[in-house]
Amino acid sequence: MATTHLAWSASEAAARDDRRRAGVSVVPFVLLYRGIGEFHLYDSGHANGPVAKKLMVLAEEKRLAIQRAERSR
């Protein structure tokens, strides 16, 4: 049986109240990233190719992160 949102909210509120009474402060820290998954350009000549350019345009339009990976030696 799935827990309903209301039941979860009520139990979370009760747990929060218990923490406050105990003098414990909990600050959630969530870091969310949106980005394009890893992709490889096997030939540096493809870095300015049509596929790479389309990926960069998409990333800019959607405000997605791009991770620059160093080449393995």
Rounded distance between C-alpha atoms, residue 4 and residue 71, angstroms: 48
In a domain, 68, yes or no: no
Query: Which pLDDT belongs to residue 69?
Result: 66
Instruction: Specify the amino acid at residue 33.
Output: Y
- Mean pLDDT, rounded, for 24-34: 71
Residue 43 lies in domain? 5-62
Query: Which pLDDT belongs to residue 23?
Result: 79
- Is the model's pLDDT at 38 over the cut of 60? yes
- Mean pLDDT, rounded, for 18-38: 76
Give how many domains the chain has, as a whole number.
1
Higher pLDDT, 29 or 71: 29
Q: Which residue in 41, 33, 36, 34 sits closest to 55, CA to CA? A: 36
Q: How confident is the model at residue 35 (pLDDT cuts 50, 70, 90)?
A: confident
Please say whether the beta carbons of 10 and 4 come within 8 A: no
Indicate the helix (H) or strand (E) that contains 12: helix 5-21
Q: Which residue in 28, 49, 30 sits closest to 40, CA to CA? A: 49
- Is the model's pLDDT at 73 over the cut of 60? no
